[in-house]
Amino acid sequence: MKKAALAFALCLGVLCLGVLCHGVMGSAMAQTAAVTSQRADDATRAVKLLAVKFSETRTAAERGDAVAQDNLGKMYRDGNGVALDYAQAITWFQKAADQGNASAQSDLGGMYASGWGVALDYAQALAWYRRAAEQGHVIAQLYLGEMYASGRGVVRDDAQAVAWYRKAAERGDAVAQANLGLMYMSGLGVEGKEAQAVVWFRKAADQGNTDAQYRIGLAYALGKGGVAPDYAQAEAWIRKAAEQGHAGAQEMVRKIEASGTAK
């Protein structure tokens, strides 16, 4: 009897363990299925919301709302809620830009500068960026500065590049701040003000701009840009940029480590 009871107990234990394991596996599979279903539902809901947003934006745009026209242009340009269509993007950007919408003017400039939906035309890009920049549009000010710095669509003019970079930089644009720092470091469009370079690099770096972080590191390594040589600071900034994916900084870190000079 004892043996029979023991055998029965063992058998029951195995069965219970099987039921438990099956329950755990079944529960896990059920949860996975539920999560997959929820994600599918979320994706479907997102698509529906985008479709509704597109419809509402188009309706407002067709009524002549300049902001809606610009937003509709962006949706066509980015393929957001509708199939990507550069020609339609140009059409709606143009409508809003003609009403004086600065964002649309900047967007239209970007289309001409990229040759999207229209023939590449730097002169047109410059003209539209200027209209937006003169209204205080920060991104347009940045791009206008870049066009003057590179001589695209206009005779290269470093002083003008600095002036437009400064407008955007003073409004907090990190790329403009980094570019302005580089102009000071290179002495382009400015004279005798190299010490300002790291000031602007640091403003951009504090916003996470990796190119500025890298250039601060180079400034400390070379003792330029208004700072004395400081290899510990140089390495710290270069590593910070490298950790965020900056290719030049990553290559510099490899060289530092290969040379055995890393701290």
Q: Using 50, 70 and 90 to split pLDDT, how confident is the model at 24?
A: very low
Q: Which of 93, 94, 87, 82 is nearest to 117 (CA)?
A: 87
Residues 122-163: tens digit of each pLDDT: 999 999 999 999 999 999 999 999 999 999 999 999 999 999
Residues 200-220: tens digit of each pLDDT: 999 999 999 999 999 999 999
Residues with Cβ within 8 Å of 188's Cβ and at least 6 positions away in sequence, in order, are 149, 158, 161, 162
- How far is Cα 123 from Cα 112, in angstroms, rounded to an integer? 8
Helix (H) or strand (E) holding 175: helix 174-186
Q: Using 50, 70 and 90 to split pLDDT, how confident is the model at 47?
A: low
The pLDDT value given to residue 51: 79
User: Would the pLDDT of 12 be above 90?
Assistant: no
Mean pLDDT of the chain: 86
Tokens of 90: 């140009």
Mean pLDDT within 56-68: 96
| C-alpha R_g of the chain | 29
Q: Which of 104, 182, 176 is nearest to 144 (CA)?
A: 176
User: Would the pLDDT of 262 be above 80?
Assistant: no
- How far is Cα 42 from Cα 260, in angstroms, rounded to an integer? 51
Q: Evaluate the CA torsion angle 94, 96, 100, 102 in order and state its sign.
A: negative
Q: Give this prediction's pTM.
A: 0.78
